[in-house]
Amino acid sequence: MKNFFHSMKLILNRMKTKVSFAVGADRLNKEFLQFSGMHLMYLLATSITMVFVNTLLMRVAADPNTIALKYNMVHFVFVGLSMTWAAMFMKKFNNKVIIVIGVSLSMLTYLLTFIFMENLDQVYAIVAMVHGIATGFYWIIYFDSLLIYSNDDTRDLAMSFLGIFAGIISLVMPLVSGAAIQNLPGFLGYYVVFGICFAIATYAVYLVTKLPVVAPTGGKTKFRLLLKNIYTKKVWFFVIHMDFFKGIREGAFSFFLNVLLFKIVQSEGLVGLNTTLVGVTSMISCIVAGKIMRPNNRMKLMLLGTTILTSLACILFFQLNTITILMLSIANSFLGFFVVNPTTTTMYTVLELVPNANELKTELISTSECYKNFGRILGVLLIMVLPQTNFYYVLSLVILTVTQYVTVLFAKITLKSAKNYAVVKENSEC
């Protein structure tokens, strides 16, 4: 086990060095790079969860048409709830405690899958709940760390840097995992894959101990004040509801294209290949975004990405098969970065420019995730309530993509409102 950890550390350091020079990561600070190393191990441990837990459920369930949708809906509910709980924990405990809770619960997800492998559909709600809480606790620290270790000038680069690592992981893990699951007899492939992920998650916990400590913020949470601001002040209303509309598309697209593909071909290997192709595309997208995306063109790129994705989704009305699903998955991976990430940088701009906003940082991050997960749940519900036919599957994907025009509009209004605060501040100082 010690040799395994040492090998993983060497691989991690080599990858970090090569990618750092390729994308200009020398502009990023040491603390961010240290955090990115731990984050890479977390992604290695969890990158296949959403993909192959869904396929496993569809293998064992009596009703494979809706089980993945039900699992993901429960998962999104508890991601939102756990963000609120994690925000409360952040007032009392340092960042390491919160991350360990998140990673440890991810390990528990795999353990439950091991125990109930062939009857997973009977306990899907429990597994989805644990997985959701794990996700919420980990990702609230991720968003907080991104804010702490970057500024508006380097944030696009920082997100691209992490996105490239996520792409590299997607090149290997899903393809190898899918091949193992498909070629090993029975459920042996699932046992092997989830066992390896459990071991990597153990190493991620070790790396957490090496991170610099970020002290708890202290005091009490101010959710009541934040909610008051949301429904009385323009900038707060739009920054929160921007994430709600973002979630409507993002949640379903994070898993449903793979579910559609599995419905057609019943092959974990092809699902793994699709996820690998998505990873390659995502990595290219992050490199391109790191080179061209700047604060002054984020909204234009976001609008362009939404328009292209909507047009491509409409093509599925004419032909829904393996090739067209793969094409949409690849396009969604490349353009998704331009559609999704500007909302995150917009929220950080609010925290930096709006007076006293940083005092509500933890509450804003957790509440925006709650609203985002409300949107994700709504998107999944739309697919569930429509007839389970190819036409309505495509119609739901098109509707979900069109909602992103509202996200773009709300992001523009949020930015304009936040910048108005900065102008007022400058004038008052003059």
Q: Which of 114-128, 144-158, 174-188, 274-288 has the highest mean pLDDT?
A: 114-128
Q: Is 26 exposed, middle or buried (0-12, 13-18, 19+ CB in 10 A)?
A: exposed
Q: Encoding tokens for residue 266?
A: 């019943």
Residue 22 lies in a domain: no
What is the rounded CA–CA span in Å between residue 425 and residue 355? 9
Residue 281 lies in a domain: yes
Return the pLDDT at 74. Answer: 92
Mean pLDDT rounded to a whole number for the chain:
83
Residue 250 lies in a domain: yes
Residue 429 lies in a domain: no
Residue 430 lies in a domain: no
- pLDDT (tens digit, 9 = 90+) per residue, 220-262? 888 889 999 999 999 999 999 999 999 999 888 888 888 888 8
What is the rounded CA–CA span in Å between residue 355 and residue 341? 23
Mean pLDDT for 316-321 is 88
Residue 298 lies in a domain: yes
Mean pLDDT for 378-402 is 91
Q: Give the global pTM.
A: 0.78
- For residue 78, CA distances in Å to 82, 161, 186 come to 6, 28, 31
- pLDDT (tens digit, 9 = 90+) per residue, 105-159? 988 998 999 889 889 989 999 999 999 999 989 888 888 877 777 776 677 677 7
Residue 23 lies in a domain: no
- pLDDT (tens digit, 9 = 90+) per residue, 21-77? 555 555 666 777 778 788 888 888 887 776 778 888 888 887 777 888 889 889 988
Count structural domains, the chain. 1
Question: What interhelical angle do 30-46 and 2-23 show, nearest 10?
Answer: 120
pLDDT > 70 in the chain, percent: 89
8 band by pLDDT with thresholds 50, 70 and 90: low
94: left (phi > 0), else alpha (psi -120 to 50), else beta? Answer: beta
Domain encompassing residue 115: 2-15+28-211+219-422
Map residue 86 onto helix, strand or coil: helix
CATH number of domain containing 148? 1.20.1250.20
- Element of type H or E holding 4: helix 2-23
Residue 276 lies in a domain: yes
Q: Who wins on pLDDT, 164 or 338?
A: 338
Is the alpha carbon torsion for 131, 133, 139, 141 positive or negative? negative
